[in-house]
Structure 1
Amino acid sequence: MPEPFVAYLRVYEPLSSFEPPLREEVEAAVERGTVDPFDAGQWEQQLWLRSQLAAPPRLLPGENAKGEVQGLGGVLVLEPEDVPTAPAATVGPGTLVCPLDVRGRAAAALVGFLGDAEIPLRTAALADSAETARSRAGAVVSELAGGAVHVLSSTWTVPLPWFVVVDPTERCVFTEPGRRRVCWRVAMADARRRVARAHSVAKQSIGEDGPTKILKETGRWLERFHPHSAVELDYGGLVQLMTPADLEADTSAEDVHAIVDAMESDDAEEVAARYEQLRDFWAEFAAREQHN
């Protein structure tokens, strides 16, 4: 089974920053064994499939038939020395941890599905009634009120405002036999600074909607975490759709940063040219989503 065609924006917090009793749960998850970042998408997919194939099916992954939580779940780890930083930024100390938060993310996605899907689709997809599912998923989402999920995900494409977070020159391409991983890593302080600047420029240039709204929401999300955290933009399963030539031609991060600079200097021609380049690159992947 192929890895899900999903890209991720993740936050890794210092282990010491988690408050008890969550810290003990995170430490126990690390001791049990962390998820291989190459396998994160498939790990999440398999966790969900097991929840749906159980008898009776679970509404959300990571819980039993009664809706009770069954442990924290998987975690990813990162060391501070693997995160490029600007001179004024600090990452750590010690190991950085990203709980995958699959149950909370699934609950949020389910609330969105129940709000958007037509009644026949909701009925076919859910063993429980829609109201029961909405109530249970909403309760899980409300548990996140004091914190935030550590992972945002996007199917089939990367939201272009996410590229604002990273330094275009710091892209990492990791390879293992038969598979690749493409990601950027950045200190939280650098990520917040870039998002704040891009949001200010976009608000002045194109108003409050569209990319500006995404930048505002991304900035608010980043503020929920420890200031010495790290942020990772990971192409995840999208690399399965990319040839080596595609990766060589991919200048998405450079183009997005150039658009912000061009907006700031009122260079409409540069904005248009860079946006057209981005549209052309990602159009192929958008078309595959349509075909599926």
Structure 2
Amino acid sequence: MPEPFVAYLRVYEPLSSFEPPLREEVDAAVERGSVDPFDAGLWEQHLWLRSQLAAPPRLLPGENADGEVQGVGGVLVLAPEDVPTAPAATVGPGPLVCPLDVHGRAAAALVGFLGDADVPLRTAALPESVDKARTRAGAVVSELSGGAVHVLSSTWTVPLPWFVVVDPTERCVFTEPDRRRVCWRVAMADARRRVARAHSVSKQSIGDDGPTQILKETGRWLERFHPHSAVELDYGGLVQLMTQSDLDADTSAEDVHAIVDAMEADDAEEVATRYEQLRDFWSEFAAREHHN
């Protein structure tokens, strides 16, 4: 089964920064063994499939038949020395841990689906329990109001504002046949600084909507975590769609940073040129969503 065609923006917090009782759950998950980052998408997919094949099926992955959550679930672990930092940024102490938060993320996705989908589709997906599903998923999302999920995901493409977070020169590419991955890692302080600058420039250049709104939301999300955390942008399963020539031609991070610089310099021609390069590169992958 192929890995889901999903890209991720993740936050890894120092293990010491988690407060009880979550700390005990995260400690236990780390002791059980972290999820292999190359297999994170498949791990999440299998967790969801198990929830649907259970008897009776579970509404959300990571819970039992009564809707009770079964611990923190899977975690990813990262060492501070694997995170490039600017001179003023601090990461750690280690280990850095990213709870995959599949239960909360699934609940948020279900709330969105129930709000956006047409009635026939909602009824087909949840023929006997639409109201119950809405209430339970809404309750899970409400419990997240004091914190935040550590993972944002996007199907079939990478939201272009996410590239603002990273240093274009720090891309990690793994191209072994069965171990392909593209990711960037960055200190939280550097990520917040880049997002804040891009948001300010974008707001002055194009107003409050579109990319500016995404940057605003991303900045607010980052502020909810420990300042010595790390942030990771991971192409996830999207790398399955990319050939080696695609990876060689991918200048997305460079292009996004150049767009921010060009907007600040009021260089409309450079903005248009860079945006056209991004559109040409990502349109092929976006088109596959419609084919599916």
The alignment's TM-score, normalised by the length of structure 2, stands at 0.99
Pairing 1:108–2:108 present: yes
| Range 65-74 or range 186-195, more displaced | 65-74
Cα deviations by residue, 1:115-134 (Å, 9 ceiling, x for unpaired): 00011111111254211100
Q: Secondary structure at the match of 1:275?
A: helix
Moved over 4 A (4+): none
CA displacement at 1:94 relative to structure 2: 1.6
1:162 partnered with 2:141: no
SS in 1 for 2:20: coil
Alpha-carbon shift at residue 175 of structure 1 (Å) = 3.8
Contiguous gaps of at least 5 residues in structure 2: none
CA gap 1:100/1:39 in 2 versus in 1, 3 angstroms: same
Give the whole-Å Cα distance in 2 for the aligned partners of 1:14 and 1:127. 43
CA shift for structure 1 position 190: 0.1
What is the rounded CA distance, in whole Å, between the counterparts of 1:178 and 1:140 in structure 2?
Answer: 36
SS at match of 2:55: coil
**C-alpha deviations, 1:43-62, integer Å up to 9, x for none?**
00000010011111100000
Displacement of 1:71 in angstroms is 1.4
SS in 2 for 1:62: coil
> How far apart are the structure 2 equivalents of 1:107 and 1:70?
15
Q: Which moved more, 1:138-147 or 1:208-217?
A: 138-147
Distance in 1 (CA, whole Å) between partners of 2:192 and 2:144 is 21
- Tell me, in whole angstroms, the C-alpha distance in 2 between the residues paired with 1:251 and 1:59: 40
Moved more, 127-136 or 3-12: 127-136
Secondary structure of the structure 2 residue equivalent to 1:4: coil
- Residues 144-186 of structure 1: per-residue CA shift (max 9 Å, x gap): 1110000000000000000000000000012444231100000
Length-normalised TM-score, structure 1: 0.99
Tell me how far apart the structure 2 counterparts of residues 277 and 191 of structure 1 sit (CA, whole Å).
24
Give, in angstroms, the shift of residue 241 of structure 1.
Answer: 0.1
CA drift at 1:189: 0.1
- CA deviations 1:240-273 (Å, max 9, x no partner) are 0000000000000000000000000000000000
Q: Greater CA deviation, 95-104 or 129-138?
A: 129-138
SS at match of 1:184: strand
1: distance between equivalents of 2:228 and 2:145?
21
Q: Deviations over 1:22-72 (max 9, x none)?
A: 111000000001100000000000000100111111000000111011111
| Residues in 2 aligned to 1:128 and 1:26: alpha-carbon distance in whole angstroms | 35
Partners of 2:75 and 2:99 lie apart in 1 by: 4
Q: 1:20 matched to which residue of 2?
A: 20
Q: Distance in 1 between matches of 2:179 and 2:85?
A: 27
Mark the CA change 1:128 to 1:25 in structure 2 (over 3 Å): closer, same or farther: farther
Tell me the SS of whatever aligns to 1:190. Answer: helix
Cα distance in 2 for partners of 1:231, 1:287 equals 28
Q: Which residue matches 2:173?
A: 173
Q: CA deviation at 1:114?
A: 0.1
Q: CA RMSD in A?
A: 0.7
- Counting matched residue pairs gives 292
> Distance in 1 between the 2:134 and 2:279 partners?
36
CA distance in 2, matches of 1:73, 1:33: 11
- In 1, Cα distance between equivalents of 2:2 and 2:136: 30
Cα distance in 2 for residues equivalent to 1:124 and 1:34: 36
> In the alignment, which residue of structure 2 is the partner of 1:235?
235
Q: Secondary structure at the match of 1:175?
A: strand
Q: Percent identity?
A: 90
SS at match of 1:42: helix
